[in-house]
């Protein structure tokens, strides 16, 4: 066990864990942030996607010690149930979730794109979102939600 | 300097007689092409991967516009659809063959050797006829690629005359009677339409291939194009079967998964004739095999190492960088790559077999870890997540150093940190 300081959603949090623990487990079990999900544990599905220093990253593949001192953003950082963020609102409006298991990861991957490029083309959205999978098959709605969020961010 | 430039021009002017225009031949006068010939041409165009330079991303097929970054400036792939104004619609078969063999356009202009006519010059009449039939039956597209941005003196096309004098060997392929039909077909394709040497042969300062180092390893878009001769980095000898699979699918379970520029080549080769790809594999595996005995003992040792879990090796505790590399490997790579932990698709390469960790520099390994591998759009293939967003440069450097030591068991790479910086997009 080692004390590790994490910077998550603008807050400094200290955890006492095995430094090799995947970041995903620490977020869920130590910090109670259950947005990011365990899907495959192999970086093949994207359910665990969070943002690390602005980039979409698979939190199941990142040992927590390697996230120390870096800026972590999870879906909890995008808004609340009462006040959903722009991207979250767009997902609700497009009814992009079916079972919802992939959605937190989808949003964090999309957020990484929109923070870098607020007016992506449809092709850019598609290419960027490719690593994240949805088994219900709501990909088309998800793409529409990202488009909607991009348009709104651009208008703001 | 002035003298050098003057000399350059003198040589350029004297070296090569002026090429005249070949009379424009409007497409409508060409009656029709035999379907089988067009199909043959399509397979050859796939084998030569013409589209990589002549089809822009999301652009119409063969309408040009692909930017090629060279040490001499940026050149744009030309429109080779049969559009009479902006493509090659007015080119007779003779004009097309002259372009392929001598690098001279229909109107007599010199073409730049980014177009690998130094390879195509060896192509047979039959194959060029088929390619011509294929191109002339494409959808004509009116589209002019952007103007080239070259540095002086390369802006003047006549400067290419010097290059041709130095590097163009305008002669047909000569079969080796001591070898079989398949070997000879493979040799012909590698040297001509396949133009493998364009990437796999090192180039000199003038951009010419170093003839004495043919296929000894070159460069493509910041990736190392591995040696295809006895210096092949792969610790297990390639077999014809594995190389055929690799060239057609990008997957060779004992060696590599195609990445970088080779991915696109493979996607194209998959559309080529299966017999031709096998012939290439026959020829290249023959080139690679030098001392079968030496290869065999190395192969046995590698297989033994690949059977051990890599993550179990505990690097010296006082080497912080090696420990970091081991930690990155254990947490980010081992779940898929390590023996005994194979899961899910059950198909990740065992890294002691992976060619990338044996190459003379870490460029390809770093590219693959950082960018991952995703199949060419619309094609099936292996997928590996990109770790560029997860791993810092320091972690990536440590991982490369660790893998070089514990996966390849080879002497350390020099300047890993520098390569990590340089390969950053």
Which residue of B343, B385, B424 is the best one to mutate when testing the A interface, meaning the one whose CB has the most A CBs within 10 A? Answer: B385
The whole-angstrom separation of Cα B145 and Cα B154 is 18
Q: Tokens 């990740």 label which residue?
A: B348
Minimum Cα–Cα distance from A61: chain B residue: B332
Q: What is the pLDDT of residues A84-104, one digit of tens each?
A: 999 999 999 999 999 999 999
CATH code (residue A48):
3.10.20.30
Q: Is the domain of B206 the same as that of B273?
A: yes
CB contact under 8 A, A42 and B344: yes
pLDDT at B300: 86
Interchain CB distance below 8 Å, B327 and A20: yes
Write down the pLDDT at residue B341: 55
Domain boundary among A31, A60, A77: A77
Instruction: List all residues 6 or more positions away from A84 whose beta carbon is below 8 Å from its beta carbon.
Output: A78, A92
Structural domain for B253, as ranges: 181-292
Q: What's residue B363's pLDDT?
A: 97
Could you tell me if A91 and A138 lie in one domain?
Answer: yes
Note whether B268 and B332 are same-domain residues.
no
Same domain? For B197 and B131 the reply is: no
Residues B237 and B96 grouped into a single domain:
no
Element (H, E) at A15: strand A11-17
pLDDT at B13: 55
Query: Does residue B300 lie within any of the structural domains?
Result: no
CB within 8 Å: A42 and B331: no
A31 lies in which domain range?
2-77
Is the previous residue joined to B153 through a cis bond, with omega within 30 degrees of 0? yes
Pair B64, B54: CB distance under 8 Å = yes
* CA A82 to chain CA centroid, nearest Å: 19
Alpha-carbon distance of B195 to B199, in angstroms, equals: 8
Q: Do B57 and B91 share a structural domain? A: yes
State how far the Cα of B119 lies from the Cα of B193, in Å rounded to an integer: 7
Q: Quote the pLDDT of residue A42.
A: 86
Q: What CATH number does residue B337 fall under? A: 1.10.760
For an interface test with A, which of B341, B387, B389 has the most A Cβ atoms less than 10 Å from its Cβ?
B389
Domain annotation covers residue B298: no
> Do B276 and B386 have their domain in common?
no
Residue in A61, A65, A127 nearest the CB of B385 = A61
Q: Is the residue at B8 inside a domain?
A: no
ipTM of the complex: 0.82
- Give yes or no: residues B134 and B269 share one domain: no
Yes or no: say if B217 and B202 are a contact pair by the CB < 8 Å rule. Answer: yes
The Cα–Cα gap between B275 and B270 comes to 11
Pair A6, A68 in one domain: yes
Q: Which of A77, A105, A134 delimits the end of a domain?
A: A77
pLDDT of residue B154: 85
- Beta-strand pair A49-52/B251-252: unpaired
pLDDT by residue for chain B (425 residues), tens digit each?
455 555 555 555 555 556 888 888 766 545 589 999 999 999 999 999 999 999 998 899 999 999 999 889 999 999 999 999 999 999 999 999 999 999 999 999 999 999 999 999 999 999 999 999 999 999 999 999 999 999 988 888 888 998 999 999 988 999 999 999 999 999 999 999 999 999 999 999 999 999 999 999 999 999 999 999 999 999 999 999 999 999 999 999 899 999 999 999 999 999 999 999 999 999 999 999 865 555 677 888 888 888 888 865 566 667 889 989 988 998 889 888 886 555 555 578 889 999 999 999 999 999 999 999 998 887 888 889 999 888 999 999 999 999 999 999 899 999 999 999 998 87
- Domain end residue (candidates: A77, A109, A140): A77
Residue A150 pLDDT grade (very low, low, confident, very high; cuts 50, 70, 90): very high
Written as one string, the DSSP assignment of B275-318 is HHHHHHHHHHHHHH-S-HHHHHHHHHHHHHHHTS-GGG----TT
- On whether both B55 and B148 belong to a single domain, the answer is yes
Same domain, A54 and A111: no
CA Rg value for chain A:
15
Residues B221, B352 share a domain: no
Partners of residue B203 on adjacent β-strands: B209
CATH of the domain at A140: 1.10.150.120
The interaxial angle of helices B274-288 and B181-191, nearest 10 deg, is 90
Contacts for B333 with CB less than 8 Å, ≥ 6 apart: B351, B399
Shared domain check, A107 and A50: no
Residues B316 and B288 reside in one and the same domain: no
Give the whole-number percent of chain A exceeding pLDDT 70.
Answer: 99
DSSP B150: E
Residues 326-385 of B with CB under 8 A from A: 327-328, 330-332, 335-336, 343-345, 372, 374, 377, 383, 385
């Amino acid at each position: 066990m080692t004390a590790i300081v994490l910077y998550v959603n603008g807050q400094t949090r200290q955890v006492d864990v095995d430094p090799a623990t995947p970041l995903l487990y620490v977020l869920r079990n130590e910090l109670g942030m259950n947005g990011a999900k365990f899907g495959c544990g192999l970086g093949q599905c994207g359910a665990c996607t969070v943002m690390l220093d602005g980039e979409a990253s698979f939190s199941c593949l990142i040992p927590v010690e390697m996230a120390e001192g870096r800026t972590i953003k999870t879906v909890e950082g995008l808004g609340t149930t009462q006040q959903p963020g722009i991207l979250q609102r767009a997902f609700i409006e497009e009814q992009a979730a079916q079972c919802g298991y992939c959605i937190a990861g989808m949003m964090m991957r999309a957020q990484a794109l929109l923070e870098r490029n607020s007016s992506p083309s449809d092709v850019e959205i598609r290419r960027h979102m490719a690593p994240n999978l949805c088994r219900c098959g709501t990909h088309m709605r998800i793409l529409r939600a990202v488009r909607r969020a991009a348009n709104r961010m651009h208008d703001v | 300097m002035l003298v050098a430039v003057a000399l350059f021009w003198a040589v350029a002017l004297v070296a090569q007689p002026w090429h005249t225009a070949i009379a424009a031949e409007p497409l409508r006068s060409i009656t029709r092409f035999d379907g089988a010939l067009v199909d043959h041409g399509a397979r050859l165009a796939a084998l030569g991967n013409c589209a990589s330079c002549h089809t822009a991303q999301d652009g119409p097929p063969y309408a040009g516009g692909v930017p090629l970054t060279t040490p001499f400036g940026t050149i744009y792939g030309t429109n080779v659809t049969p559009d009479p104004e902006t493509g090659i619609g007015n080119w007779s078969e003779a004009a097309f063959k002259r372009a392929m063999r001598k690098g001279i356009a229909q109107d007599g202009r010199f073409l730049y050797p980014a177009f690998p006519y130094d390879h195509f010059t060896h192509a047979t009449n039959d194959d060029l006829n088929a390619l011509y039939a294929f191109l002339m039956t494409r959808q004509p597209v009116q589209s002019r690629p952007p103007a080239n941005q070259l540095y002086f003196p390369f802006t003047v096309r006549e400067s290419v005359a010097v290059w041709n004098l130095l590097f163009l060997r305008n002669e047909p392929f000569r079969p080796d009677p001591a070898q079989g039909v398949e070997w000879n077909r493979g040799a012909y394709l590698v040297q001509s339409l396949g133009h493998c040497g364009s990437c796999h042969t090192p180039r000199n300062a003038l951009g010419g291939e170093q003839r004495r180092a043919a296929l000894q390893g070159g460069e493509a878009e910041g990736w190392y194009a591995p040696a295809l001769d006895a210096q092949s980095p792969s610790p297990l000898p390639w077999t014809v079967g594995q190389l055929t699979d690799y060239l057609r699918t990008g997957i060779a379970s004992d060696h590599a998964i195609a990445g970088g520029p080779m991915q696109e080549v493979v996607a194209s080769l998959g559309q080529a004739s299966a017999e031709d790809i096998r012939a290439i594999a026959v020829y290249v595996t023959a080139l690679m095999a030098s001392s079968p005995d030496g290869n065999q003992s190395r192969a046995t040792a590698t297989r033994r190492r690949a059977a051990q879990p890599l993550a179990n090796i505990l690097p010296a505790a006082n080497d912080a960088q090696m420990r970091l590399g081991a930690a990155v490997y254990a947490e980010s790579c081992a779940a898929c790559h390590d023996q005994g932990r194979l899961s899910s698709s059950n198909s990740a390469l065992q890294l002691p077999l992976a060619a990338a960790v044996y190459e003379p520099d870490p460029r390809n390994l770093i590219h693959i870890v950082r960018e991952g591998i995703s199949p060419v759009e619309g094609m099936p293939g292996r997928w590996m997540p990109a770790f560029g967003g997860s791993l810092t440069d320091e972690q990536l450097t440590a991982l490369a150093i660790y893998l070089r030591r514990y996966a390849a068991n080879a002497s350390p790479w020099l300047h890993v940190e520098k390569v990590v910086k340089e390969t950053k997009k």
